[in-house]
Structure 1
């Protein structure tokens, strides 16, 4: 039997929201959504906005099977251990064909108003991509639950830098370990990342009881959680003690300093404003070969440039390492117990 335990030194709104969201997933098939007009009659407005500030810390998070995997000393905050703030969540239940904020639609809105120069290729791309039916965003179907994370205050409306750096974050983890009868092994240690969170969208598509078949033959539910996020890591350090990267590179005994993750080089920068980009979809799924039912994670894509200016092996620097146009795509996973 596997168990998961969390020991946290703080209770936060973020944990409560996460728990509430988690409890709702098994009931998706029986969920009857409210449209905007119904919601407006209850709340007096169509949709809800939440201005959020928080600081999250967890002393120990442990998954126990025959052995255990532990995340120790996790902290999520603003830069320099300040409060993570200037966050604004907009939550809407879409009507049929409704256009709601998504991605860089705020930049498209400002470009259309003449506040931002459209000679910038990224700005021009955003204006073309997010201009929909006389509004700015993405068009959704009736009953889709749309959560858009942006900033409360974007600063100077004519400044792209202010917009892209409106929400700063800092993530620190003391260690990630695995334990068993033979002792404890550090996988990673002294993780410390600083950067900026760009537009992030969570969409629960209202697909009812419909299903579809992926290219690998797996069957997945038409009601799915869709994640789309942009972010940038401007300075990061970590020790890669013993672990594999996507089952290809073993970086044991490696130390990385000055880590940067962005998208400013190569052939796929257009539309990303220099930020790394990740997307994924999650739903109930059934394996075509195994017949097992579990959590399907599909249509996964990650695009970034990665800079490691100080790359140490065994405590000694061997120079710098760069990845340009680092892309993970066409990736599907089915997760189930055994």
Structure 2
């Protein structure tokens, strides 16, 4: 059974919440969505964009993928920290004009640094100013017809406080267990997952590449129209039991317990431009594999950058000390996903 409680305040000024909104729509209604051409858009008021202020709390008793057996996510809950309402989120949605500059990433930080509210000499600030200063504005430049969604905060607090900005949206993700089942019985992969932290600027962009295609370095051909995800976040406290599972097919952490987990980017040589937060980017589009000629979903240009701290690392219920990863990076990663 799925339970969700949401309160939305919508104004017509200008990925987390996107999925909540999509799931809330009945399928027949979604089936009626049709693209609008320029002529149709000319008759719509409030063309400067749409802003959605969102408060929500989501719980799912069980989510299952069923094949010959099943993979089950049990007791999933997404909320604010300490099981409160996930709030103070603002989603802006725009359809870009040709060369239009729209809010993206840490562009709000660049705007504040430029106006003297934040120290422009801070290395991260200087990087943001260089990256997000475009044509006298602050953001990222887009092409005509690109759909741009930016998730930030409704209220960032003190405009001179970087800490207020980075901690404006707090969240808590809890999962009772992740299990697999089949004819042989069932097994628990993970259990007692709890992650608390903050959501930084998150962008979801659907690039309007028309029917164009491009070739990746591995030879895969992908559509020029693609979904682009960029997000920053940090985990300030997390715990889980790693009962039986692999990490990127290399490390098996069976019978491992982790407490006090933190995921950030405050250490090492890869911190510039991230303001201490972990980051993840990916692009998704239709693609054709150069190796198998199969058509499917291409997930490419994937990057994940973080420092990971596990101060309590247990094996078989006994602590073996602490584990740290510095400048942990996943790069040059491409996947082609298709059925068989």
TM-score (norm 2): 0.92
Q: Specify which of 3, 12, 31 is matched with residue 9 of structure 1.
A: 3
Q: Specify which of 212, 229, 232 is matched with residue 231 of structure 2.
A: 229
Q: CA deviation at 1:34?
A: 5.0
Q: In the alignment, what sits opposite 2:198? A: 196
Q: In the alignment, what sits opposite 1:308? A: 310
How big is each residue's C-alpha offset from its partner over 1:35-56, in whole Å with a ceiling of 9 and x where there is no partner? 6x97475123411111001001
Judged with a 3 Å threshold, the aligned counterparts in structure 2 of structure 1 residues 209 and 60 are, in CA distance, closer, same or farther, namely same
Q: CA deviation at 1:169?
A: 0.4
Distance of 1:40 and 1:199 partners within structure 2: 30
Distance of 2:124 and 2:59 partners within structure 1: 36
How big is each residue's C-alpha offset from its partner over 1:210-268, in whole Å with a ceiling of 9 and x where there is no partner? 11111111111111000000000000000000000011110000000000000001111
Distance of 2:275 and 2:41 partners within structure 1: 35
Q: In the alignment, what sits opposite 2:78? A: 76
Distance of 1:34 and 1:155 partners within structure 2: 39
Distance of 2:211 and 2:66 partners within structure 1: 34
Judged with a 3 Å threshold, the aligned counterparts in structure 2 of structure 1 residues 87 and 100 are, in CA distance, closer, same or farther, namely same
2:89 pairs with 1:95: no
TM-score (norm 1): 0.92
Q: CA deviation at 1:10?
A: 2.9
Distance of 2:34 and 2:210 partners within structure 1: 9
Judged with a 3 Å threshold, the aligned counterparts in structure 2 of structure 1 residues 322 and 131 are, in CA distance, closer, same or farther, namely same
Structure 2's unaligned 5+ residue stretches are 9-16
Q: Specify which of 155, 166, 169 is matched with residue 167 of structure 1.
A: 169
Q: CA deviation at 1:140?
A: 0.2
Give the paired residue count. 328
Q: Please state whether the residue corresponding to 1:193 is helix, strand or coil.
A: strand
Equivalent pair of 1:193/1:233 in contact (CA under 8 Å) = yes
Q: Please state whether the residue corresponding to 1:50 is helix, strand or coil.
A: strand
Q: CA deviation at 1:17?
A: 2.4
What RMSD over aligned residues (CA atoms) do the two structures have, in Å?
Answer: 2.2
Equivalent pair of 1:60/1:71 in contact (CA under 8 Å) = yes
2:246 pairs with 1:252: no
Distance of 2:131 and 2:63 partners within structure 1: 40
Q: In the alignment, what sits opposite 2:280? A: 278
Structure 1's unaligned 5+ residue stretches are 1-6
Q: Please state whether the residue corresponding to 2:3 is helix, strand or coil.
A: coil
